[in-house]
A and B are shown apart, each in its own frame.
Chain A
Amino acid sequence: MARYPKPPEGSWTEHFGLDTAPVSYADSVSPEYYERERQAIFRRAWLNVGRVEQLPRKGSYFTKELAVVNTSVVVVRGMDGEIRAFHNVCRHRGNKLVWNEAPEEETQGFCRQFTCKYHAWRYGLDGSLTFIQQEGEFFDVDKDQFGLVAVHCEIWAGFIFVNVAREPEQSLRDFLGPMITALECYPFDQMTSRFGYRTEVKANWKLFMDAFAEFYHAPVLHSKQSPDKYSAAAREAGYEAPHYQVDGPHRLVSTSGVRFWEMDPSSLKPMENLTRGGLFGPWDKPDLGELPAGVNPGKCNPWGLDSFQLFPNFVILIWGQGWYLTYHYWPTSYNTHIFEGNVYFTPATNVRERIAQEMSAVTFKEFALQDANTLEATQLMLESGYVERFPLNDQEVLLRHLHKVVADWVNEPAGVPA
C-alpha cells in the first residue's frame, strides 16, 4: 500500500508518459555512444561551471577543464564587473593561456591581465589582445582580430553557465525552464561557506546521476550508517518519495523530512546527538525568511529535500534544514567521470553552528564514498554484456527520464527536442 498518493495514471512513470518496460544500459557502456553524447548534448547544452562567489572582485578568475567538450575555459570578472568566459588558448601558437605548474590542472586567482607563459602575448580581462612581443616582426597582425575566443556565458541565480555551441539554440533562461527558474530567489548568495570534494569515478556519468536520482537504495546501501534500531525500521518501511516532477529535460524528486531532534536518542549516533548535525544537516536551521514557490513545489510536509537534476550533468539539492549541495558529473570517457560535490551553508557565527556543519559535511562524504564504489561494481558488470534488460520500479522513474532525454538529444542532433 502506497504511503503517498500516486498520480491518477497509477504511477509516476506513466504520469510522465514514460515506458514501464525493463531498460537497457547500452547507453552507458559504449565508447561510440559517448562520442555521440559529447556532440549532441555537451556541445549544445548549457553547462554549469561554478558560482559568482568564486569571482569575488574585478580580476578574479578560475579555469575549468571540460574534457567532455575537449577544451579548457577561463572564467573571469572584468574591470567592468561583468563575468565572461574564454577558451583558455593563446591566439599566437595555441599554448594554454592560464595554468600553474601542471597544465591539466584547474587553477584560480586574481590578475589585471593574462600573459602567455610562452611568448608573453597579453590579453585584457575582456579578452582583447593588448600586447604582442616584438610586434614589428609580425606581418600586419590586426590585434582586434586576435583576441581570446569567447565562450557563451550566462548567469542565473549566481550560477555561471557556459555553452560551447557556436550559437546556443536557447538562452540559458529558456533552457532552464519554469521549474528551475522558480528557484531564483532562494538565498544561494547567503550560503557562502563551502566544503568542496572531488574524485574520479570509474563509471559512466549517467550511472552516478541515476544513483542520486532514487532513494530506493538508501535504507539498504546506507543501513549501517544508522543505529540498528533506526535502520531496521527504515529497511522494513522501504522508500517512497512523496513528489516527483519533470520539466523538459530537467527533473525533481522531493523527500519527506525526519525530525531527528524529536527522535529517541538511541536511534541516533552519539556524534549526532553531540554535534546536533548529520545527514540532513544542522538540526538548528538558519532563518532564511520565506522561500520561493519553486522550493518544495509538491508542498511536502514534513519536507526533507528537493533534488533538482539539471540536464545534462548538474544537480542542486536543497535541504529543508536550510543548506544546499551541488553535484557535477564531468565525463572523461564512456566509463569514467570526475564527480564534484559541494556543500554550502550560511557562514557559521559560532562554534556550535560550525560543529553541526562539520558533522553534516563529513556525513555527506561518508555516504558519497559508499555510493561511488557501488557504481564501479555496476559499470564492471554492465560492460560484461551478458545481461541486457533491467527492470526499474516507480521510485526509479527519474532514471528512465534521464536516459530517455539523453536518447532524445542524441537521436535528434538538429535541434533541441520539444
Chain B
Amino acid sequence: MSVLRTHAAAAMLGVSPNTLRSWERRFGYPTPRRTAGGHRQFDLGEVEALRQAFEETHNVSSAISMARERGCGPSSPARLRSALRRFDEIESDRILEESLAVRSVERTVEEVLLPAVDTLDVADGEPPTAELGFAWRWATGWLAAAKRIAPAATRPESVLIFDASVPCDIDALHAQALELCLRRAGMRTLMLTAELDSSRLAHVLRTLNPRLVVLTGRRAWLDALARIAYQARRNSDFVEIMDFRGALSESDASAVARLGTSAVGARDLLLARLNAYESAARRRPTLAQIS
C-alpha cells in the first residue's frame, strides 16, 4: 500500500498541509490513517483520484464527490478499510471485484485485502474490536472462496502448513493467503493447526509425505513446533522445514529457512526451492546407470 505523509500529499495536490487537514474535517476526504505516533498517512490512490478530479470539475466539494464516487479508480486498502469499518460486506466484495479487474488474485490479496485488515489490527493482548472481528471473518470467507475455485494441482509435491494462530490473528489471514498462492501455483497444500496430537500428526505426514513443511502463526509453544519438525524429519529424509512470518524466533531456529512475511514472496521462494530439488533429482544418476 502506497501512503503519503501530510506534507507530501499536500504538495502533490498543490495545497498547504492546513488546507488538506481542513478538507479532512469538512468533507471527511481524503481519509488518512494514523501511524503509531499519530501522524497522518494518506492513501496515494485517494490523493491521485482527487488530483485528477480537480482537473475535471469546478470546486473542491464536487471534486471530492467525484473522487469518492469513482472510488479512486483501482481499489485501495483505504476504501476497503472504510467499507469494513462500516460493516459493509457488499461494498467490501465490490471493492475486491473491482481490484480483480486490474490486478491478479495474488496482488489483490497482498495489495488490498491484507493491508486493509492489517490497519484494523489491535495491539497484542488487547481483545479484537468488532470491526476487526467482522473484517477477519469476511477476509477468511473471501480467501476460502478463492481457494475453492483455484485450479487443480499440477505438481506432485505437497506442502503442509501448520498454523499456530487463533481467530482474529492477522497471521492467520497471511497463512491462508500463502495457501491460496501455493494452490494457484499448482501445488497440493494442506493447512492444519500446530496443536495436532502426535498420532494424528504422524498419520498426516505418512499420508501426504510433504516435500515442504511450513510453520506459521506465533501462538504455539516451541516444543509443539519442535515436535512437528522432529516428526516430519523422521517421516522423510527429504522434507524441509520452513518458517513463515516468524513462527520461530531467530534464536530458536538456526536450521529453519525463513520465507519472509509476504505470501507471494514465500511462494516464489518455495517454488524456487522445489524447482532446485527437481533439477538436482534429474541430474542424480539412477541405479541402472551406475551399474
A complexed with B: no
Instruction: Give me the interface of A with B, judged by CB distance under 8 Å.
Output: none
Instruction: Give me the interface of B with A, judged by CB distance under 8 Å.
Output: none
